[in-house]
Structures are given as structure tokens and as C-alpha cells.
Amino acid sequence: MPYESEHESCQKFPPSPISSFGGDWREYGEGDPDKMAMIRFAVKRRALILFSLLSAVALRADDGIWLFNRFPSEAVQQKYGFQVTNQFLDKLRLGSVKFVGVASGSFVSPKGLLFTNHHVASECIQQLSSKGNDYMGNGYIAASEAEERKCPNLEADVLLSIVDVTSRVR
């Protein structure tokens, strides 16, 4: 339970029984710059050790990010028993879009309807809204394809092919 401090805006907590300083760590270096520097160093060191341990775990991940033309189909077949064909990879590649910036999306219809995250489309939604139609606040559902609203300034790129140009560059 907190108890009152000499400072109105602060609350102090009673000493922790597990404190290595034998009391409240915030009081340990109070008024002593050297002790405060030691505390800051210890905190930074522990954070660095924790970061190093977590990074080492992340480095062991074997999933990877693969280009469609260099996908490890054989390794996936052996590990998961799933055969990834070039036809399947082409379908994935042609169904994916990249919006200007770092956003992505997917085609959900053969006529170009896209699915993406709200933050990607929010600027467009605001542009399409008016005083009478607050699409950001109320949403919008098109009853038919003719009623679908198009984003005038949204650009989406589709990766149509991958070509190795190494021999041309050399």
C-alpha cells in the first residue's frame, strides 16, 4: 500500500522485501550522483543482457522471408508434408498488393476489390466522407458492385514477374 511522500505529486511504496539494497531502490541513491550512476548502469546492463538473450532466440528462427522465385519448396515438403507448386506461388504473388509506403493487401475479387488494414484506407475513407456521410464514424457497406466507392489517390502495386538481371548487370 502506498504511503504519503513529502512531495505532493509522489507516492512512496514501503521497502520491498526482495530489494537487494535493503530498502526502496529509489531512496538508495537519493542525493548521491555516484550511486544514481551505478543504478542507471545496472539497469542498462540488465536491459542489454535481456535484449541479447531475446535476440539469440530470434536468430534461431528458420522460417525466413523468401522471394517467390527462390522459395524452398523441397524444404517445406520435407518439413511440413505440403507440396508448394509454382502455380500456387504465382497465385499468391498475383493476389498480393503493396500500397505506397509499407502497407500490403490482397485481392478479394477478380474485379479488383482489395482487402487491407483500416489504417491503410483511413485517408481514403476521410476523403470519401462528407458532411452527410461520415464513413469514418458510421462505416459504409455497398449493396452492389455499382455502389462500391473507389479511392482516388490510393495506389497499389502488383508484382507481375521476377527477372534475374545479374548477367546483364555484370
Whether residue 55 is found in the same domain as residue 74:
no
Q: Are 136 and 126 in contact (CB under 8 A)?
A: yes
Average pLDDT over residues 25-41: 71
Please say which residue of 36, 59, 82 terminates a domain: 59
Which has more pLDDT, 139 or 13? 139
Whether residue 80 is found in the same domain as residue 108:
yes
Whether residue 118 is found in the same domain as residue 151:
yes
Whether residue 34 is found in the same domain as residue 102:
no
pLDDT of 9 > 90? The answer is: no
Write the pLDDT tens digit of every residue in 127-167: 999 989 999 999 989 999 899 888 888 888 999 999 989 99
Cβ neighbors of 156 (< 8 A, separation 6 or more) are 97, 98, 99, 105, 114
Structural domain for 38, as ranges? 3-59
Whether residue 138 is found in the same domain as residue 155:
yes
> In angstroms, what CA-CA distances link 142 with 52, 91, 131, 139, 146?
50, 27, 19, 10, 8
Average pLDDT over residues 48-65: 70
Sign of CA dihedral 127, 133, 138, 139: negative
Whether residue 122 is found in the same domain as residue 149:
yes
Whether residue 84 is found in the same domain as residue 132:
yes
Q: Which grid coordinates are listed for 161?
A: 514477374
Number of domains the chain contains: 2
Please say which residue of 15, 30, 59 terminates a domain: 59
Whether residue 79 is found in the same domain as residue 54:
no
